[in-house]
Amino acid sequence: MSDTDSRAFRTPSWARPVPEGAGAAGRVLLGAFAVATALDLGSLLAGWHLGHVLAKPLLMPLLVAYVIARRAPRLLIAALLFGWGGDLALLFDADPAFLIGMGSFAAGHVCYLVLFGRGRTHPALGGAYALALVGTVALLWGDLPADLRIPVAGYSLLLTAMAYRSSALGLRAGLGGALFLLSDTLIATGVADWPQLPRPDFWIMATYVAAQYLLATGALAPTQAYRRTVIQDSTN
């Protein structure tokens, strides 16, 4: 491996470009994901519920198709598919659907945690996330329905761990983890009947879609760099 290739491989993940699509198919899939995202967010802003119902189920399958085109790790594909399961469940306004959706997202977080491996993360960041977890759960506890307090607390612990560990893959994935935490915190404040921003569903979906995209591309960047290095070494 040349010195140039070695330096490129050591480039931190946040400084690497977003992985390019797998030819024309990848560009089409990423473009379709962007169109579906715009349709979903636009529908939420316009109060067009049918548009949201039609667009939301398309988001994760399109992102999954894109990462498959990029030869993504199976754990990343699984994490996104579990996210899709959560998306579908939360289209139904009922407590059982909320719990099913939370369970599906939790399974996705486990996939992400395993995918992130044992890379280094800053202890101070872990402390900040721990304080955020304890403070948020403590503030929400009394306002949450009694039967949701324990599930929400357990889910929050897993989500916070995922958000913290995502930084092991670099800034892009770390931002994705942080946005995922923000998105689900907005959902929790709605369940607790706290005052909400105008169009709360828009902000929840905007942060969620950005989170999944950043996590996916953040996980792809080091994987693609490693694959390129292995190929380069095998040809030298």
DSSP letters spanning 152-183: HHHHHHHHHHHHHHGGGG-HHHHHHHHHHHHH
Q: Which residue, among 178, 174, 183, 189, has the nearest Cα to 209 in the 3D structure?
A: 183
Span 94-106, pLDDT tens digits: 889 999 999 999 9
R_g (Cα) of the chain, nearest Å:
19
Instruction: Tell me which residue of 12, 22, 104 sits closest to 65, measured CA to CA.
Output: 22
| Cα 188–chain centre separation | 17
Query: Looking at residue 6, what is its pLDDT?
Result: 47
Residue of 62, 100, 54, 53 lying closest to 81 (CA atoms): 62
Residue 22: predicted pLDDT: 61
Q: Residue written as tokens 């109060």?
A: 47
Region 79-88 average pLDDT: 98
Q: What angle do CA 57, 60, 62 make, to 5 degrees?
A: 100
Enter the pTM of the model: 0.85
Q: What is the pLDDT of residue 218?
A: 95
Q: How many other C-beta atoms lie within 10 A of the C-beta of residue 147?
A: 9
Q: In terms of Cα–Cα distance, which of 179, 229, 166, 171 is closest to 13?
A: 171
Predicted local confidence at residue 126, as pLDDT: 95
List, for residues 181-209, the tens digit of each pLDDT value.
999 999 999 999 999 999 999 999 999 99
Going by pLDDT thresholds of 50, 70 and 90, the confidence category of residue 32 is very high
pLDDT at position 167, please? 95
Q: Model confidence over 100-130: pLDDT tens digits?
A: 999 999 999 999 999 999 888 999 999 999 9
Query: Which residues, at least 6 apart from 82, have a Cβ–Cβ distance to it below 8 Å?
Result: 104, 105, 107, 108, 111
61-71 b/e (C-beta count within 10 Å ≥ 16 → b): bbbbbbbbbbe
Tokens of 63: 């992102």
| pLDDT tens digits, 137-165 | 999 999 999 999 999 999 999 999 999 99
158-164 long-range CB contacts below 8 Å, 24 or more apart? 158/106, 158/109, 158/110, 158/113, 159/105, 159/106, 159/109, 159/184, 160/129, 160/130, 160/132, 160/133, 161/109, 161/113, 162/109, 162/112, 162/113, 162/116, 163/129, 164/121, 164/125, 164/126, 164/129
pLDDT value at residue 60: 98
